[in-house]
Amino acid sequence: NAGVTQTPKFQVLKTGQSMTLQCAQDMNHEYMSWYRQDPGMGLRLIHYSVGAGITDQGEVPNGYNVSRSTTEDFPLRLLSAAPSQTSVYFCASSPGGRGYHGYTFGSGTRLTVV
């Protein structure tokens, strides 16, 4: 199993550009999430999904869009990149159903907006 795969690993954008961060999981997990990590702030939830076709906002959703057309994929779109979006982005997934299993994380995408 590949687990949670994020692409690209590194990206530099100019202010105002748009791009999509890709996330795919092969574990048939229902729940998927996007976090951003900034120094001294831990990880903050951007958007999450509890199944195909269902998404919701997290703590810091402004400037980002998501969609979940399949169970496997959960792309994060930056609509118009700003320097404040310079961060490391992590995608994570978790099984659904009863109980609580915790999340498996991808290796991250380091984004710089200049």
Partner 1 sequence: AQSVTQPDIHITVSEGASLELRCNYSYGATPYLFWYVQSPGQGLQLLLKYFSGDTLVQGIKGFEAEFKRSQSSFNLRKPSVHWSDAAEYFCAVGASSGSARQLTFGSGTQLTVLP
As beta bridge partners, residue 66 has 76
CB of 16 to partner 1, least distance (A): 28
CB-wise, 3 or 17, nearer to partner 1? Answer: 3
CB-wise, 55 or 85, nearer to partner 1? Answer: 55
> Phi and psi dihedrals of 53, rounded to 5?
85, 0
CB-wise, 17 or 30, nearer to partner 1? Answer: 30
CA nearest to 29, candidates 90, 64, 73: 73
Q: Summarize as ranges the residues that interact with partner 1 (CB under 8 A).
A: 31, 33, 35, 40-45, 48, 50, 56, 58, 90, 92, 94, 99-100, 102-108
**Contact present, 56 and 109 (Cβ < 8 Å):** no
